[in-house]
Structure 1
Amino acid sequence: MEQTPPSFSETYLLVQRNVVESEKQVVEARQRTRATDLVTLRRPSKHHNPPAQPMLAFDQVLADLETKLLQQYRLLQGTLTQVMKRD
């Protein structure tokens, strides 16, 4: 029993759903970053010179995550544009 390829509308809906999901992930990553920044700013320092290295590493991980999510979002947008042009 052969599977039929998805129709144009099914492909469009799938790509659109992935684009929306990527947008949500980017927004959530930004919100977590802002929340973490607020907690970090409000927390009083226990030492005169607290180590900044762990926070810098965390910020870098979040920045990398945001970059990857934006790349995925742009890729999905491009795919959606190509699907729309085929019609």
Structure 2
Amino acid sequence: MEWTPIVLVTFKLLVLGTGMYFAIKWHYDQGTKEKEWADEKRAILRAGRKVTVIFVLSLLALGFATYFFCRMIGLDLSFS
């Protein structure tokens, strides 16, 4: 019997077993870390929402200011 399949199958089992061990360990660690990061994640999302709202409101204000300024100086704003 040849030794190559025995060595390769043994190597494959070791590599897959090690990979499965670290995958399970990583998922377990992420689950415990998730509980710790929940409050911080909420704060980050809240800050992101605030920045988005401020950006959209300032964009609308700039759009209205531009529209009224263009009308004030007499530019033609019709599409036709």
TM-score w.r.t. the length of structure 2 is: 0.52
Q: Which residue of 1 aligns with 2:57?
A: 30
Matched, 1:46 2:71: no
Count of residues in Structure 1 that have an aligned counterpart in Structure 2: 51
Moved segments of 4+, more than 3 Å: 44-47
Distance 1:17 1:26 in 2: 14
| RMSD (Å) for aligned C-alpha atoms | 2.2
Deviations 1:41-66 (A, max 9, x none): 0013434x724xxxxxxxxxxxxxxx
Higher relative contact order (CA 8 A, sep 6+): 1
Gaps of 5+ in 2: 1-21
Q: Which of 35, 38, 49 pairs up with 1:11?
A: 38
Distance 1:46 1:28 in 2: 27
Between Structure 1 and Structure 2, the one with more helix by share is 2
Q: Give the percent of matched residue pairs that are identical in Structure 1 and Structure 2.
A: 2
Instruction: Tell me the CA shift for residue 7 of structure 1.
Output: 4.4
The verdict on how the C-alpha distance between 1:7 and 1:50 changes in structure 2, with shifts beyond 3 A counting, is closer
Shift of 1:40: 0.6
